[in-house]
Amino acid sequence: MRAVVFRGKQKVVVEDVPTPTFTAKLWTGETRQCDHGVIIKAIGTNICGSDLHMYHGRTDLPTGTILGHELTGQIVSVGPQVEFMKVGDIVSVPFNVACGTCKNCRQMLSNTCTSVNSIQPGGAYGYAQMGGWQGLQSQYGLVPYADFNLLRIPTEIPGVADKMDQISLLTDIFPTGFHPAFMCGVNAGSTVYIAGAGPVGRACAAACSLLGAAVIIIGDYYPSRLALMKRQGCFTLDLNDKTINVEDAIEKILGEKGVDVAIDCVGYEAWAHGGNKEAPETAIQDCIKACKFGGKIGIPGVYMPVDLKGKDKDLKQGILDIPLGMIFNKGLQIVGVGQCPVGTYNRRLISAILYGKINISDWVKTTVIPLEDAPKAYSIFDNWQEGSNDKFILDPNGMMSTGGTSSSSSKASTSFLRGDALVE
């Protein structure tokens, strides 16, 4: 089959690799028999901002690893231990690899499963330090522990095919944006500041809107992103202004100091105010300053325990300058941190999409492209400029219309919903 393979810093290629079987050969050197898994034919498999951490060479991902952790597809083969998933089912794959039986999984902490990773708790596809599982930017993918992990898409509901671009965001980005908002208690009347209007920041803003937030303020450097957020009813802060004071700007909007909730959707690759200079502490420091006394902070933005390209000894170990005294003095709660347990949220979010409670494509613009165009898409994503696409859905098997942008033109063919495209 064809797959997107990491070949070193800023180099990905699409090449022939073995089609997966139920014997998983992890890049950690382990072999796992996955009779509890399924083989999935990709309908859409997305490029995520987190993939750029490997692309930039800032992790220890081995060359030759298949990238990607966002897959929506059709089951073509089931292992002998699978009970509830069937050949032909259309499914959404959470990026978490989780067993469903360990203590953490039983507590719905599938992001920190203790069984699927011999390095540390938590597993993910095609991601450094997350268990050695091969990625899913490929024509076919192995998903272990299928009965626990997979979300079956109810294809009997009219209009599902027209919403496949939205449904594809359930594998990671929409739940990832929803998780900190939900954990921080965003609800009717809440005021929220979001650092970063990239895809995750916009998904978080959409989640806050869905939860009933009264005021959503979002800070970023790109005029087109800020303009999109304004059209969605958000207030915006232009962080190109080197002199901007986030606290004062928020007070002017609210008429009082501090928001109820601040959410860092940027992480360790944040820029200093004014842009174009990396300053890893900026986004989290802004969130701490933005919060009211007694407020809450969520952190879905990625912070790496090991950053091979960190500028000094501390940054290489993920140690940042954080004002703990301010956190203590303001009595802030920090919740909704880290990788999202996607299975906790994807069932409720697919209902919101299918029954018209939200159109996530109004917030996060997607473009469907052929798998073979993945190297170009990575380069565009890495060197993002005004007007560039910033959420690519790869179409490895020609099951979605390519070249379209957002829900108006990147619709999936209805043929796979009838089983016409099924390949054993």
CATH number of the domain at 190, please. Answer: 3.40.50.720
Confidence check: pLDDT of 198 > 70? yes
Q: Which of 7-21, 143-157, 302-316 has the lowest mean pLDDT?
A: 302-316
Which pLDDT score, from 0 to 100, does residue 413 have?
A: 56
Q: Which domain holds residue 324?
A: 177-337
Count up the domains in the chain and report the number.
Answer: 2
**Based on the domain organization, do 387 and 360 belong to the same domain?**
yes
The Cα 51–Cα 68 span in angstroms is 7
**Based on the domain organization, do 35 and 117 belong to the same domain?**
yes
**Based on the domain organization, do 202 and 263 belong to the same domain?**
yes
Q: Decide which of 273, 307, 337 is a domain's last residue.
A: 337
Confidence check: pLDDT of 410 > 50? no
Tens digit of each residue's pLDDT (9 = 90 or more) over 125-153: 999 999 999 999 999 999 999 999 999 99
The Cα 411–Cα 401 span in angstroms is 6
**Based on the domain organization, do 125 and 108 belong to the same domain?**
yes
Q: Decide which of 311, 337, 363 is a domain's last residue.
A: 337
**Based on the domain organization, do 12 and 123 belong to the same domain?**
yes
423 lies in some domain: no
**Based on the domain organization, do 127 and 256 belong to the same domain?**
no
**Based on the domain organization, do 46 and 163 belong to the same domain?**
yes
Residue ranges of alpha helices (H) inside 317-400 are 324-330, 346-354, 374-382
* Unique residue bearing structure tokens 């919101």: 352
Q: Is 412 helix (H, G, I), strand (E, B) or coil?
A: strand
212 lies in some domain: yes
**Based on the domain organization, do 118 and 265 belong to the same domain?**
no
Pick the closest to residue 69 from 9, 15, 111, 11 (CA basis).
Answer: 111
102 lies in some domain: yes
424 lies in some domain: no
Which pLDDT score, from 0 to 100, does residue 414 have?
A: 52
Confidence check: pLDDT of 373 > 70? yes
Q: Give the confidence band of 424 by pLDDT, cuts at 50, 70, 90.
A: very low
**Based on the domain organization, do 75 and 99 belong to the same domain?**
yes
Task: Yes or no: say if 344 and 106 are a contact pair by the CB < 8 Å rule.
Answer: no
Q: Which of 37-41, 104-108, 317-321, 337-341 has the lowest mean pLDDT?
A: 317-321
Tens digit of each residue's pLDDT (9 = 90 or more) over 229-275: 999 999 999 999 999 999 999 999 999 999 999 999 999 889 999 98
Confidence check: pLDDT of 408 > 50? no
**Based on the domain organization, do 161 and 203 belong to the same domain?**
no
Tens digit of each residue's pLDDT (9 = 90 or more) over 105-118: 999 999 999 999 99
Q: Decide which of 306, 337, 368 is a domain's last residue.
A: 337
Paired strand residues for 73:
42, 91
Tens digit of each residue's pLDDT (9 = 90 or more) over 67-109: 999 999 999 999 999 999 999 999 999 999 999 999 999 999 9
**Based on the domain organization, do 73 and 112 belong to the same domain?**
yes
Residue 38 has, within 13 A of its CA and on its CB side, a CA count of: 29
